[in-house]
Amino acid sequence: AQSVTQLGSHVSVSEGALVLLRCNYSSSVPPYLFWYVQYPNQGLQLLLKYTSAATLVKGINGFEAEFKKSETSFHLTKPSAHMSDAAEYFCAVRRTSGSRLTFGEGTQLTVNP
C-alpha cells in the first residue's frame, strides 16, 4: 500500500531563507505524488504534482519538488521564503488504481520576519 511520511510537523524559517519540507513515500510501484498547501481557514490547494514526466517539478508560488526514486523522497523547496508562504503543507500519494489520495500528516510552516 502507498503511504507518505512528512518529517517535521513544524518548520520555522526566516523570511528570505530556503524552505525545505520533507516527504518520503512508500510504494511498491511508481507513485503519483502531490504537494498541497492549506492557508488558514481555507481548503487545500494544489502546489505541484509528479506524474513521471520529469523528476524536477515546478509548481505555483516559486515552489518545486524533486522526485528521487533512490531515496523514495519528494521534498518540497523554495529558494527564498516569503511571509505569505506561512501555511500547512501536505504531501500526498495516489494509488495506481482508483482515485484515492493518501495524505501525510502535514507540516506547518512558519516564516519569521
Question: Which lies closer to another protein via its Cβ, residue 59 or residue 62?
Answer: 59
DSSP state of 70: T
96: contact with another protein by CB under 8 A: yes
Question: Which lies closer to another protein via its Cβ, residue 34 or residue 67?
Answer: 34
Instruction: Look at the chain and count its residues.
Output: 113
Residue 82 Cβ, how far from another protein at the closest point, in Å?
A: 22
> Scanning residues 35 to 54, which ones bind another protein (CB under 8 A)?
36, 41-46, 49, 51
105: contact with another protein by CB under 8 A: yes
Closest Cα to residue 91, out of 30, 47, 27, 42? 47
22: contact with another protein by CB under 8 A: no
φ and ψ at residue 61, rounded to 5 degrees: 60, 25
Q: Using CB under 8 A, which of the segments 17-25, 29-37, 56-64, 74-82 binds another protein? A: 29-37
Residue 79 Cβ, how far from another protein at the closest point, in Å?
A: 25
C-alpha cell at 50: 509528479
Instruction: Give one DSSP letter per residue of 8-41, joined into a string.
Output: -SEEEEETTS-EEEEEEEE-SS--EEEEEEE-TT
